[in-house]
Chain A
Amino acid sequence: MVIERASVTANELIAEGIFQMNVSAPKIAGENPSPGQFINISVIDSWFHPLRRPMSIAGREGESLKIIYKIFGAGTRLLSEFPVGSFIDLLGPLGNTFELTEGATPVLVGGGVGLAPILWFDETLRSNGIDHTTIIGARHSGEHFLEHCPKEGFILTTDDGTVGIKGTVLPTIESICLEMENPKLFACGPEPMLKAVKQFAEKETVLCELSVESYMGCATGICQGCAIEHKSSSISEHSYHERFSLVCLDGPIYNAKDIRFP
């Protein structure tokens, strides 16, 4: 983990409300981040926004890192205003990574901007020749920036059917997983989607890893702000770090059966 002033090499709108930023970050890239890991971004040098914004890494090529984000509030709006050639203060790489299970076929699921770590994982599996299927969901075609290629195992879904398969990602997950002998789900997206994926995985006893989001203070385990409820059998009256896990240190990837959403 290092702090680096990275230079912005691209920052553009790639779909409705969705931006892609590329940065040249030799120090962070030099630590060999893996799919699932994130960086924590300072969106402004002033202290008006004292906290960084955690963002999953959406791709890496040499010293270049990619993030994909949506404007949700003032912080992400500031992020969208960084011109090419400017510098941005990053902390990373942080967090854990997706883990393959031997004998299980990966089924990757990304919803909304939760597609960021999924895209990088998809790319990595593809370049390593690992057979898998990827499902990317959005509300409508305007939010998609990739091609629907079901023959290559890359499936888009839209709530309104304007591109790809109509509906949420869930029916597609179900039909793909139920046809496979031993699927393993890897999902990142909005909480309602993660809850539905978790429910499906538990019902059908499908292996499942989820990448969860959380507000973060420091992203280094200091502030204890990014807690998530952890299912643990050994919770005593006086425990620490058993009932609550820290997304920054222990996550953001969790075995779906280990966590409980509010």
Chain B
Amino acid sequence: MSCNLTVEIAGVSFKNPIFVASGTFGYGLETQELTDSSSLGAVITKSITRHPREGNPPPRIVETPSGMINSIGLANMGVERYIDTVIPRIDEIGTAVITNIAGFSIDDYLYVMEKLEACKAPICGYEINISCPNVEAGRMEFAVDPELTGRLTESLREVTKKLLIIKLSPNVTGIASIALAAEQAGADAVSAINTVFGMSIDTQSRSPYVQTNVGGLSGPAVRPVGIACVYKISRKVNIPIIGIGGITSANDAVEYILAGASVVQVGTANYKNADTARSMIDELELYLAENGIENLSELTGGVIPNE
């Protein structure tokens, strides 16, 4: 039996539901020696900002049980260099590209998106990193407030007809209400979750392992958090959900899909082996065949909750 792995999000078709997460696959061109990116459903780029950014002082990462804490500080080449150096080579990635955008004001996000729209970048859409402090709102993160999230989404919606995905933070009191705000403001999909606040301290020096003290926890340690968030969001919104957090195998992906995700992104696992996501595609096909599932969409939200 052949299984259909293709998925559609707001009219955009992807060859399979295995994407790679922002920040774990560069701009899509760096891993060519280690994997075949053209097999993937989509590549989400590292966050691009209005200006180039050096990022935070080191140390920036530390391993924790089944995870890692990062505090990179959005180091990236900035939108101009991205347009000059990556966009012309985007065909080499061989699959759909979604550009992740970060900013510190609504104008910042708009600037990046407008530049990409103006150059007719051959990307299929945008993922918006809203876990950034908004300098116009007392550095409150866009992600923690439904109104801010809504306003940002609405502004971006006016600029693009391409796929608009809002990437949600788990560090909020009610992730589903933020997701709903994004949906009502015109988002095509939400992705969940970004990293979870995390801290790890060296008990000898008494210093936190990352320079910014608190960083973002990712990896298998956060998988149950991500799955619960996807489940909660799926009860509240109708737009597709992209599941992220600690996925290392097709089985992990299926957990997210059962919880309500239409597609998933593989993140931290790419660091150990950039071929992890690609190798999950065959595994997923096998799971579907073994379970007599012809269309992946049959699985989405298929969890049988306890009464």
Contacts and interface: CB of A to CB of B under 8 A. Distances in A.
B34 A50 contact: no
B58 A229 contact: yes
Chain A residues touching B, range = 35 or more
Given A241-B77, A242-B54, 19 more contacts: A1-B34, A3-B34, A47-B269, A48-B65, A50-B269, A50-B272, A51-B63, A52-B272, A215-B60, A218-B24, A222-B25, A223-B70, A224-B60, A227-B75, A229-B57, A240-B77, A244-B57, A244-B58, A244-B75
Interface string B36-72: 0000000000000001111111111111011110101
Contacts of A226: 58, 60-61
Given A47-B220, A262-B57, A222 B67 contact: no
Interface in A40-99: 42, 47-52, 75, 89, 91
Contact of A223 (B58, B72, B269, B275): B72
Which of A1, A2, A223, A238 counts the most chain B CB atoms within 10 A? Answer: A223
B61 A223 contact: yes
A14 B135 CA distance: 56
B275 A225 contact: no
Contacts of B272: 42, 50-52
In the complex, the 10 A-B pairs of residues with the closest C-beta atoms, listed nearest first? A225-B61, A240-B52, A238-B51, A218-B271, A227-B58, A243-B54, A51-B63, A47-B220, A50-B219, A217-B271
B63 A227 contact: no
B30 A221 contact: yes
Interface of A: 1-3, 42, 47-52, 75, 89, 91, 214-218, 220-229, 237-244, 262
Interface residues of B, number: 43
B81 interface: yes
A79 B67 CA distance: 19
Contacts of A91: 34, 273
Interface of B: 23-26, 30-31, 33-34, 51-63, 65-68, 70, 72, 75-78, 81, 219-220, 248, 268-275
15 contacts: A42-B273, A50-B219, A50-B220, A75-B63, A217-B61, A222-B23, A222-B24, A223-B24, A226-B58, A226-B60, A241-B54, A241-B75, A241-B77, A244-B55, A262-B58
A3 B275 CA distance: 10
Contacts of B273: 3, 42, 89, 91
A47 B219 contact: yes
A49 to B, nearest CB: 6
Contacts of B269: 47, 50
Contacts of B270: 218, 222
Contacts of B61: 51, 215-217, 223, 225-226
B47 to A, nearest CB: 11
Contact of B59 (A215, A218, A243): A215
A141 B76 CA distance: 47
Given A222-B31, A225-B70, A50 B271 contact: yes
A50 B68 contact: yes
A48 B68 CA distance: 10
A89 B30 CA distance: 21
A52 B68 CA distance: 12
Given A50-B220, A50-B268, A220 B30 contact: yes
B214 to A, nearest CB: 16
Nearest to B271: A218
Contacts of B30: 220-222
Contacts of B51: 237-238
A2 B271 contact: no
Contacts of B72: 223-225
Contacts of A221: 26, 30
Contact of B60 (A52, A222, A227): A227
Nearest to B246: A47
Contact of A50 (B52, B53, B59, B66): B66
A221 B271 CA distance: 10
Contacts of B275: 3
Contacts of A240: 52-54, 75-78, 81
A238 B53 CA distance: 6
Contacts of B76: 240
B257 to A, nearest CB: 19
